């Protein structure tokens, strides 16, 4: 499906034969030139409709404005967030809807529940999240304590944070405040539930730590 709302670059995506194909075009139907951001031209975030599945992918270039990403997906509804920086063109990341196997996508109630404890351990690596404020329209700082584990540089930073609201519509991609810290700052423009995925690399393997938070008005 296609997404062009408020952008000078259109995104068209489809899934078949075990791969996602994406085509980018500017307002003149030409392939836009992409700038490199955190070591890649193309960052693709994929989630399913209830936000229980999350993938951070980097499609490879197949031609001018055409990219592909091999991935095995079950039947269902997904959203793609094409995180790119077209040179000299206005672009804002918007969800691109992807339906697998022509199933009808009925809206489902949010199953997100706020995490009471902001500590998680994955494959022996513990990460604790501290948040200084959770109010809309003011800066919020996420501080991640990786305990005994030292995160390695991954895509030009010590970590990456992706945030979606419970509807899977508002996309936020945050990088650390400096090259040697695991603190991330952003501003929420509306109250509500959000899911936060933090990515850290330990011993050559990237681990993703999901948390659900509530932002007040």
- DSSP output for 36-87: -BTTBS-EEEEEETTS--EEEE-PEEEETTEEEEE----SEEEEEEEE--BT
The domains spanning 2-100 and 119-215 adopt the same CATH topology: yes
pLDDT tens digits for range 8-19: 999 999 999 999
| CA atoms of 204 and 149, how far apart (whole Å) | 12
Percent of the chain surpassing pLDDT 70: 93
| 169: region left, alpha or beta (phi > 0 left; psi from -120 to 50 alpha) | alpha
Q: Which tokens go with 184? A: 């991330």
Residue spans per domain, the chain: 2-100, 119-215
pLDDT tens digits for range 26-44: 999 999 999 998 889 999 9
Model confidence band, residue 176 (pLDDT cutoffs 50, 70, 90): very high
Does the 119-215 domain belong in CATH 2.60.40.10? yes
The fold of the 2-100 domain, in CATH, is Immunoglobulin-like (2.60.40)
pLDDT for 106: 53
Selected residue with higher pLDDT from 38 and 95: 95
């Amino acid at each position: 499906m296609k997404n062009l709302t408020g952008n000078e670059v259109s995104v068209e995506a489809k899934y078949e034969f075990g791969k996602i194909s994406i085509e980018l075009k500017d307002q003149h139907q030409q392939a836009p030139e992409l700038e490199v951001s955190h070591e890649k031209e193309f960052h693709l975030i994929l989630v399913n409709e209830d936000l229980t599945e999350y993938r951070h992918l980097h499609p490879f270039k197949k031609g001018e404005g055409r990219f592909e990403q091999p991935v095995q997906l079950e039947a269902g509804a997904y959203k793609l967030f094409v995180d790119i920086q077209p040179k000299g063109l206005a672009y804002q990341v918007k969800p691109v809807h992807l339906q697998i196997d022509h199933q009808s996508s009925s809206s489902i109630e949010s199953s997100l529940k706020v995490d009471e404890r902001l500590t998680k351990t994955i494959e022996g690596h513990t990460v604790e999240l501290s948040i200084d404020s959770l109010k809309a329209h003011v800066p919020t700082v996420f501080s991640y304590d990786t305990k005994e584990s030292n995160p390695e540089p991954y895509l030009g930073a010590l970590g990456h944070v992706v945030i979606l609201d419970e509807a899977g519509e508002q996309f936020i991609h945050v990088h650390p405040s400096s090259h040697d810290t695991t603190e991330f700052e952003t501003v929420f423009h509306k109250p509500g539930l959000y899911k936060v995925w933090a990515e850290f690399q330990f011993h050559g393997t990237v681990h993703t730590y999901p948390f659900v938070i509530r932002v007040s008005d």
